Amino acid sequence: MAMIEIQIREAGGPEVLEPVEASIPKPGEQQVLIEVEAAGVNRPDVMQRKGLYPPPPGASSIPGLEVSGTVREIGPGADPGLKGKPVCALVSSGGYAEWCVADEKLCLPVPESISLRDAAGIPETFFTVWTNVFQRGRLQKGETLLVHGGSSGIGTTAIQLVKLFGVTIFVTAGSDEKCDFCLKLGADAAFNYRTSDFWEEISKQEKKGIDVILDMVGGEYFTKNVKLLATEGRLVQIALQQGYRAELDLRALLMKRVCLTGSTLRPRTVNQKAEIALELEEKVWPHLASGKIKPVIHTTFPLPDASEAHRLMEEGSHIGKILLSTKVV
């Protein structure tokens, strides 16, 4: 029995993504086999396609970090009760396919108010925001958060999550349309970084500084971020879209007692990711089930059109998540 999967022919542009016929994978120890309904498209997929973000050792070379679908086969040691259940799962690779293997511990039930297809837009961003903003950033009720890229999958997730916990959130985005969307979603303020200096604007509004900053940009943003931080502020770096070098006046760190940290999700162990999954299921899943929050889905492409999905991701006009569906869209 065969399936369609998306392979990267060679490092390069979106055109190197090719649908090919392949064998259906087998679940290993404490794994399950999912018949995929949809897969999320994320910037790490783009980086992998360019040859800049290889999968962890032992992982499939097929891109895709999150899927939704139905469990069809149970591997040794996995819970037999999962068979036939609709799930969404965080995976290290292999999501761009009609069938995907996932670790049992990283499969979460599809929330009642979310469609099986749209559930593919949950794992990567919700895991990322929870571990970086709440675990590493230690964000607390009554504090302020700044997210760069407020209209991205990460940003739209962060806006919804932190408003549940009584946090003031500022965001930056690349157009007035995106800023308006973020405000309607719940952001307290949004700044178009193409037409204004976010450092100047936020400094006027938040005199005491920002408690936590979640940054995917890097480069010249780094110095501005440190200037914006409050005393005991935390800067969490999760991507470096504009470069990995920056100049820093270390006096700011000393005087403000700033904490600088950063992380990536993909290379972490299954058990480390499972700890995040447990907290999400306890503290966030009830809000997803009730419909209070949901993944923001921009558009869905058929799986064979993965190259078009990547073009849209790089063009940057989307708001929220881009999905690939194994079904006719």
**Do 72 and 131 fall into the same domain?**
no
Cβ(133)–Cβ(279) below 8 Å: no
The C-alpha atoms of residue 163 and residue 27 are separated, in whole angstroms, by 38
Is residue 281 a part of any domain in this protein? no
> Which of 27, 23, 44, 47 minimizes the C-alpha distance to 97?
23
Q: Is residue 220 located within the same domain as residue 317?
A: no
312 Cβ contact partners less than 8 Å away, ≥ 6 residues apart:
299, 318, 322
Instruction: Assess whether 17 and 37 both reside in one domain.
Output: yes
Q: Is residue 229 part of a domain?
A: yes
Q: What is the CATH number of the domain that holds 20?
A: 3.90.180.10
Question: What pLDDT sits at residue 184?
Answer: 98
Distances (CA, A) of 310 to 4, 63, 65: 18, 12, 14
- 288 found inside a domain: no
Per residue of the chain (329 residues), give pLDDT as tens: 799 999 999 999 999 999 999 999 999 999 999 999 999 999 999 999 999 999 988 889 999 999 999 999 999 999 999 999 999 999 999 999 999 999 999 999 999 999 999 999 999 999 999 999 999 999 999 999 999 999 999 999 999 999 999 999 999 999 999 999 999 999 999 999 999 998 889 988 888 999 999 999 888 889 999 999 999 999 999 988 877 888 887 888 888 999 999 899 999 999 999 999 999 999 999 999 999 999 999 999 999 999 999 999 999 999 999 999 998 66
Tell me which residue range forms the domain holding 70.
2-122+295-325
Residues 106 and 202 occupy one common structural domain: no
Examine the domain organization and report whether 22 and 102 are in the same domain: yes
| Bridge partners for 324 per DSSP | 39, 301
Structural domain contains residue 153 = yes
Domain boundary among 262, 279, 305: 262
Domain identity same for 258 and 131: yes
Examine the domain organization and report whether 72 and 136 are in the same domain.
no
Report d(CA 78, CA 80) in Å as an integer. 6
Q: 56 by DSSP, 3-state: which?
A: coil
Claim to verify: residue 309 and residue 228 sit in the same structural domain: no
CA–CA dist 223, 58 (Å, integer): 38
The answer, as to whether pTM is greater than 0.85, is yes
- Into how many domains does the chain fold? 2
**What local confidence, expressed as pLDDT, does residue 209 receive?**
94
Q: Based on the domain organization, do 146 and 231 belong to the same domain?
A: yes
* Same-domain status, 143 and 112: no
Identify whether 290 is part of a domain: no
Strands, E, within the chain: which ranges?
2-8, 17-23, 31-41, 66-74, 86-90, 99-103, 107-109, 144-148, 168-173, 189-192, 210-215, 229-237, 259-262, 297-302, 321-325
Residue 269 lies in a domain: no
CB 160 within 8 A of CB 327: no
Q: What is the CATH number of the domain that holds 189?
A: 3.40.50.720
Percent of the chain with pLDDT over 70: 99
Give the residue from 238, 262, 286 where a domain finishes: 262
Residue 258 inside a domain? The answer is yes
The DSSP letter of residue 304 is: G
Q: Tokens 């929870």 appear where?
A: 130
Residue partners of 55: CB distance under 8 A and separation at least 6: 48, 61, 92, 93, 266
| 312 and 206 co-located in one domain | no
Residues 258 and 142 in one domain: yes
Query: Cα–Cα distance between 244 and 295 in angstroms, integer?
Result: 29
- Domain boundary among the residues 262, 282, 307 is at 262
Can you tell me whether residue 137 is helix, strand or coil?
coil
Q: Is 71 part of a structural domain of the chain?
A: yes
